[in-house]
Amino acid sequence: MPGPFVAPVHGDPELPKEVDVVVIGGGIIGASTALELSERGLRVALCEKGGIAQEQSSRNWGWVRIACRDPREVPLMAQSLRIWDTLDQRTGRDTGFKRAGIIFTSSNDQEFADHSRWIKNLEGYDIEARMLGGAEFSDMYPGTTMKLKGALYTPTDARAEPQKAAPAIAEAARANGAAILTECAVRGIETAAGAISGVVTERGAIACKAVVLAGGAWSSLFAGTLGIHLPQLKVLNSVIRTGPLDGAPEQTMWASGFAFRKRQDGGYTVASGHENIVDIVPKSFRFARDFIPALKKEWRSLKFRAGWRFFDEARIASGWALDEPSPFEYCRVLDPVPSRKMADNALANLRRAFPVFDRAQVAQRWGGMIDVTPDAVPVISAVDSIRGFHIATGFSGHGFGIGPGAGRLMADLVTGDTPIVDPRDFRLSRFTDGSKIELVSGF
């Protein structure tokens, strides 16, 4: 697989006949949900069509940030940061978590004012955030050529290793009794009297009382077979991994032309701070009404592309019998070709801003498909039309850092425990109940 090397998680050989909850999807959201549920004593099966964290959960930038998030995500991200602090001890494994700080640069007065306003979202939280002036930023990074108005600095924001985190969480769930089933696609659910009674996988049936769909970019396809309206599209982000580099910044940073994070191995993850590719596919038209408001705000940062992916996705069945192979079995891992141009432009911009990166050697490039919703806020919700069915998806490029908190919230909803935060903003029904769906800038 051309994507990043992921710590291997070997699937269990035996399919359980019955569990309390089946979690569909082995990314960081599904793994975190499985860990939370198994720690509460529930019998859990985590079913993944490919391998644990082989899609976006290992391909993201590795940022664990509260900075510049949509205000609706801030309470859950504050909880997630607390969970990350204890995750290595809790799982008994290394996730690469480190509180090293994050910088969002402000190139002009407007960006400086936007970032200054955003800090108000942290009122009431014990989280440090402050604005740096242009001179202070230059003093902090004496080797930079950037001339800025200033920057937003959150010194307690963090980073972690995407190739390690979800596998560590999945292994911890297994240590608590969860079944980890890789190469085991779920074809569909079974119901009795309008409630979940089980799932059918490619390896057989599992009886259960609850299901959590945490299928990332595949969630809308699965939900559609059940008549559930889940507006979700895919966006391609392209990433470069460098070899180890001495003397470069310790803090993670976002700027208009680049974004970077120091890796545990001493190298850096580099990507564009604002450019992504959107392939025009049949669902682009199906969900056009849902996404028009977002497109009006974000069209400058999106490169629309018409090509072979339209026909590939047009060939994907929208329904299938549970005794025949599903589309999930024909594509185990979404492994898109990255945009070399976008990634190389980001590295070139970074080298101009920080000449120390002239010595950086490109070790690898990869692409990842981000699953996005119209308001760029995830769905973490029960589904009213099917008792016992839940969805946790649509994290819109913000899922890695918030993943452990999302897993806890999802477990709360499944078990009926008091939610760790108010789940209203994450409800699925917001797309169909007449609510105003709005893309809110994190600034």
Sketch out the chain's domains with CATH numbers.
18-100+158-246+262-333+361-431 (3.50.50.60)
User: What band does 441 get if pLDDT is binned at 50, 70 and 90?
Assistant: low
**382-397 residue pLDDT tens:** 999 999 999 999 999 9
Helix (H, G, I), strand (E, B) or coil at 352: helix
Residue 419 amino acid letter? P
- Round to whole Å and give the CA distance between 73 and 64: 13
Residue 337 has pLDDT above 80, yes or no: yes
Distances (CA, A) of 280 to 200, 308, 377: 32, 10, 22
Q: Averaged over 101-123, what is the pLDDT?
A: 97
Predicted model pTM:
0.96
Distances (CA, A) of 19 to 76, 92, 171, 407: 28, 25, 18, 18
Q: What is residue 303's predicted lDDT score, i.e. its pLDDT? A: 85
Q: Averaged over 103-125, what is the pLDDT?
A: 97
- Round to whole Å and give the CA distance between 29 and 62: 14
- Percent share of the chain, pLDDT over 70: 98
| Residue-level length of the chain | 443
Q: What is residue 296's predicted lDDT score, i.e. its pLDDT? A: 72
Residue 1 has pLDDT above 60, yes or no: no
E strands within 317-413?
Answer: 362-372, 379-382, 389-393
CB count in 10 Å sphere of residue 175: 13
- Round to whole Å and give the CA distance between 72 and 396: 13
User: What band does 299 get if pLDDT is binned at 50, 70 and 90?
Assistant: low
Instruction: Bin 429: left if φ > 0, else alpha if -120 < ψ < 50, else beta.
Output: alpha
Q: What is residue 300's predicted lDDT score, i.e. its pLDDT? A: 66
Residue 280 has pLDDT above 60, yes or no: yes
In terms of C-beta density within 10 A (0-12 exposed, 13-18 middle, 19 or more buried), how is residue 187 classed? buried
- Round to whole Å and give the CA distance between 176 and 35: 8
User: What band does 435 get if pLDDT is binned at 50, 70 and 90?
Assistant: confident
